[in-house]
Structure 1
Amino acid sequence: MSVYTPLDAPQMTRILAPFGYSLVHYHGASHGIENSTFLIEAKDRQGTPADLVLTVFETLDSNAVRPYLHLLAELARDSQLPVPGPLADDQGHWQITVADKPAVLMPRLPGDHDFAVDEARCGQVGALLARLHQCDPGSLLPLPDERQRLATLSKHLSHLPANQQAPARALLDAWQASPTGRTLIHGDLFRDNLLWQDGHISALLDFYNACLDDPEYDLAVTLNDWCVEPCGKPAPEREQALLSTYQRHGGLFDPGRLKLALAVAALRFWLSRLAGPVANHSEGQGSKDPDEFARIYRWRMKALEPGA
């Protein structure tokens, strides 16, 4: 992920010490746009090598981070989900402070980013989402509301072309007026939030948009990244592979609601990219191209037209 908070080696050494690790090497990761993330090679007190990840939260305060770390700890206990849990320091704390910002240290699960897409990979993603959506959220701390995020992003509708502002407002109003689901969703399952090893998913990352909402919304976010062509047009074979495998593993969704969610999710990420994070001061990829989701949004809105 992009690095907005640079850290030098002495700083990193001090961060690792309370966890019982000594620094060998580290570098900033280049994928993502919201937080500063560092990939670390370290050794524990016995001299055993350890691969770690430090995330410094750029937009969330310590209170906002707390439920996410609790969620990660709960999911990491599930052997069916390859999710890294937060590590505790010598005081038993998951959350630490780095450069006056909340941060967390986690093990780095094996595997690498691989942005290739095909039907087999989309099927694996569908199975993973089905397992996540069947998790019991009853023991979790209250998570932020995606509907509130959408309400905040709606302030940026004025950034859209003038002829698209009214339809976009009507779309958001229709979605916001509908009941909120109670399924645990990832909310950001883009290709850069998975690691792969030997052709299989080895890690599911970045739960900092997770919330309770409709499974159709999570499917829509995922389909809009994994199952579209560069022009924004849906890729039906990949879409079918993801959805059919999702259903075979116990996932349930309403096709009509999914069609609406696909447009809402495309608009959500178009608006968030237009709003722009702290990319002007980052090292790495920074903000992503809004036009990518403008293209996807046009196709998803076309599918909502009568007779489509």
Structure 2
Amino acid sequence: MAVYTEVTDEELGAFIDRYDIGGLLSFKGIAEGVENSNFLVHTEGGFNILTLYEKRVDPADLPFFLKLKEHLAAKGLSCPKPVPAKDGNLLGTLAGRPAAIITFLDGMWIKRPQAPHCNMLGQAMAKMHLAAADFDMSRKNALDVSGWRPLFNLSADRADTVCPGLEKLIRDDLDILETNWPKDLPRGVIHADLFPDNVFFLQDELSGLIDFYFACTDTLAYDLAICLNAWCFENDLSFNVTKAQALLNGYTEVRPLSEAEFSALPLLARGAALRFLLTRLYDWLNVPEGALVIPKDPIEYVKKLRFHQTAASPEAYGISL
């Protein structure tokens, strides 16, 4: 979440009038995240989230995102869902951007997750994968392995200004991952961005998953690989095998991994590290002027990538078949 586009009181009041949620009382920008402009909106009917979809989001993808959240919520998964306007539409326009009102989800994200949090995340992710199995829409992952080199090309000439030798490190890893990326693993809808700030807890119980704007159709185990990177490294970037074991055990309690999925974990985790290194590198080098957002350090994912390069087998992540 972030704020790139400012909205006036008058603009927002007129937009809110299209919904049956009461009059506008107050709103404030939410400055976390990197993708869209988000505001906490307080109306006479309570609290909701207003999201303005910025230029990096393809408007053609928005029906997928919004309908997916409706589908998952109807299946019992705890997640925010879009609020329809009085005319039934889930999507409108505000300040020149596509915009939607999303229900507010109680909870807070955990800044220093422990193994029990990782276990609950694994269970929730597996439940999400199963709940989306009969979702009748699909969306290509624009940041799958085929999209990494084009993204890298936008930053390659400045990569070494961030870290000496980074251009070669990335280029060499792209060669390996493009050649060896698994193609026949189970697929379905994945979240693709389940970082700690997208998972809410209340009193140490998982209360819901948020921010589905990278959701897509891809390899299910790749979602796990993303979370191994996002949840299982300590502040000093040492890998916590106990957290990884808790995450994977939680997932497999709900949806067991096939032998092929299990064997692919080191490569998937390596690819996930590279994918987030590339987006962080691009954002680090291309912060929009005046944006109320702090870009995330790409060097964190350089170190994570190097760890996965040394993982000799799936047992490096704490479990075995």
Q: Provide the secondary structure at the position in 2 that maps to 1:19.
A: coil
Q: Which residue of 1 aligns with 2:194?
A: 189
Which of residues 79, 97, 104 is equivalent to 1:101? Answer: 97
Matches within 5 A, 1:133-212: 133-145=129-141, 146-147=143-144, 148-156=146-154, 158=156, 159=159, 161-176=166-181, 178-179=183-184, 181-212=186-217
Distance 1:255 1:137, change over 3 A: closer
Conserved 8 A contact 1:156-1:274: no
Q: Which residue of 2 aligns with 1:40?
A: 41
Matches within 5 A, 1:211-226: 211-226=216-231
What displacement does 1:179 show?
3.8
TM-score by length of 1: 0.90
Q: 1-side partners of 2:23 and 2:227: how far apart? A: 37
Q: 2-side partners of 1:237 and 1:180: how far apart? A: 26
Conserved 8 A contact 1:126-1:242: yes
Deviations 1:142-190 (A, max 9, x none): 2132425435424347236243144212233135573464222110000
Q: Which residue of 2 aligns with 1:77?
A: 74
Q: 2-side partners of 1:118 and 1:51: how far apart? A: 29
Q: Which residue of 2 aligns with 1:47?
A: none
TM-score by length of 2: 0.86
Q: Percent identity?
A: 28
Q: 1-side partners of 2:233 and 2:176: how far apart? A: 21
What displacement does 1:100 show?
1.6
Which of residues 262, 265, 276 is equivalent to 2:272? Answer: 265
Q: Provide the secondary structure at the position in 2 that maps to 1:102.
A: strand
1:292 aligns with 2:288: no
Q: 1-side partners of 2:16 and 2:117: how far apart? A: 35
* 2:200 counterpart letter in structure 1: L
Q: 1-side partners of 2:182 and 2:124: how far apart? A: 29
* 1:259 counterpart letter in structure 2: P
Q: Provide the secondary structure at the position in 1 that maps to 2:217.
A: strand
Distance 1:189 1:3, change over 3 A: same
Conserved 8 A contact 1:23-1:41: yes
Distance 1:113 1:30, change over 3 A: farther
Conserved 8 A contact 1:126-1:245: yes
Conserved 8 A contact 1:180-1:213: no
Conserved 8 A contact 1:232-1:299: no
Conserved 8 A contact 2:12-2:94: no
Task: Give RMSD over aligned pairs.
Answer: 2.3
Which of residues 71, 79, 86 is equivalent to 2:82? Answer: 86
Conserved 8 A contact 1:184-1:213: yes
What displacement does 1:285 show?
3.0
Q: 2-side partners of 1:293 and 1:100: how far apart? A: 34
What displacement does 1:30 show?
2.0
Q: Which of 85-94 and 130-139 deviates more? A: 130-139
Distance 1:299 1:16, change over 3 A: same
Deviations 1:55-77 (A, max 9, x none): 11112232121211111111111
Deviations 1:93-131 (A, max 9, x none): 001111221111011011123312101111110110110
- Unaligned stretches of 5+ in structure 2? 161-165, 317-321
Q: Which of 248-257 and 215-224 deviates more? A: 248-257
Distance 1:183 1:22, change over 3 A: same
Q: Which residue of 1 aligns with 2:251?
A: 246
